[in-house]
Chains A and B, each alone.
Chain A
Amino acid sequence: MQTHPAELSVGHPRRGPIGLIVETLVSIGERRRLIWYLASSSIRRNEGKSVLGNAWLILDPTLQLAIYYLLVGVVLRRPEPAFPLFLFAAILPWRWFTMAITSATESVRREGRVMQQIAFPQIVLPAAAIVSSVASFIFGLIPLGALYLVYPERLSVWVLTIPAIMLVQVLWTLPLAIALSAVNVFVQDFSNLVKHGLRLAFYVSPALFSFDRLTDIAGNYPPLDTILLLNPMVWILNAYRSVLYAGESPDWIALLITGLTSIPFTLLSIYLFRRLSPSFAKVL
């Protein structure tokens, strides 16, 4: 048997905001294996159920692209040159963003049963949702790569900067995912609101249209143009499009500012999560 004095395992003294945030960040580090395990098992879980299995990771974005291509390219006749690539460069990251947010919003509520039985840092649940959503983006890069066979002139070395843009996107996904996952435990209506919120955000982001067209339109409705510039996804999608479609360097300064401004929101969301988390097991 161990002879060391037993450590305090339940009943740590209440901490202030900074203490809570630090404690949470440490617990994320300590439980990275759990995050990884939860994420990878959620990917494997989907594979067993369908005939095509993980092929859907590639088929899904391809079909989505086809639909938007028909809608915007053929029906609305608004094509930019190399339109499929133009669309895909923004729709693929947007799709990742949507999946991360929707699955994270449900993540804590979904594991209610486990929380009734085991005490663990619940912050790992939204974190795992984000990690597993990365897979959908990575696999989506395969059909994207295939598009370069059609438009080889669009491929440039700047493609290699994608991880940096992904990082900025994760930085902005985090505060939203964490805050929504906590609030959704108490008010389930949030998962419905999130769906529509994301759809609205999609149309005020340069996904179907170019940034220039979007600012043109927004310029006619004064408050809208400022709101547009405050949307972090605008800058993130712009960066993807520069790199994947225009074959040029992303706007590093805009990316850096976008990334840095996410940090206070992330800390705030962690604090919110930790203030609400003691009640999770009571409510679920």
Chain B
Amino acid sequence: MLWLALKTLIHEKGRMVITLTGIIFSTVLTLTQVSMYLGMMGNATAVIRHVNADIWVMSKNVQNFDFANPFPEDRINRVRSSADVVWADRLILTWGFLKLAGGGQEQVQIIGFNPDTGVGAPWEMVSGKPADVKGGRYFIIDKTAEKRLGGLTLGTLWELNENRFKLVGLSQGVKSFTTAPVLFMAYNEVHNVLSGLVRQNQTSYIVAKLKDRARMQEVVAGLRNSMKNNDVLTTEEFVNKTVYYWTVQTGMGMGFFLTAILGLIVGGAIVGQTVYANTMEHLREYGTLKALGARNSDIYSVIFSQVAISAVAGFAAGSVIILFLRGGIEKAGVSLYLSPVIFGSIFCVILVTCLLSAFFSIRKVRTLDPVTVFRT
């Protein structure tokens, strides 16, 4: 009956255009919202996921990566003393102001990392090396900040919290949730030059790598026991905590969720309405089919096939639009996380929404009495 579904669908071009418009609208809105949300969550957890550590130690009740509280850095010794730890290192996260050429200033997120080990360093460089920050007032900044900060030329001097620093490298793909530019410098230099931000002997995070990840829970439990004034989390727990904070505690996730649901509802309503109108218009033909020996399931398959064909075509068109707009959206500073899994999942949601929207049509066909075909 796919044959009949396709013929009927193509024959009524006006109705098909309305159906496709509804599905395209749903697809674009849902894909944009989901990919934007995932992009923002990806930014919020980027550093945590790229540090390649298994365990994170932080001040009590830190809610997300961006809002760290300093604590004594010598607690790293307790972490190192565990026989299960391969390495442990410190990481500073703080905020500063970078003066711009025009006289203005921009708030930046500063990550102080150990250039000898590279733990916490930018993971993708456009120019320069992470180790270039070693031994002086040097910094690396992410290329995505160029639009906000102006020309990022290697070797130029910049003023950070009234201290001069030299730009020695450009990273790529490091964005913070708050959209503030992310700046990397040597751990010691934050203490030496920016002591107003993080005092000597204090750190924001201690990260550690384990010999055997299978022993993760035991090691975490042991560290929690010995470091009562800190929170000890696995990388996965810290990612989840950060995502939970931005999604639930700020209410931002609900905003994205509602917009995506609204897209699905509006799209589903348009599809449902056009499919229902189509069914009502063809009721006599469906009754004829029943009189000629078609089962309800034969007619259901026509309606579901029409909906499924529309869903595939509408989703494909919507996806092309998103891919076409992606460059422009990202240029405007909004990260979109799109992957085959995202496309596949959203397609399934769109398809199910469309099939559900055919429910009233199916009910109409189920109760259709073939005797009606004899009425004029």
A binds B: no
Give the interface of B toward A (CB within 8 A).
none
Give the interface of A toward B (CB within 8 A).
none
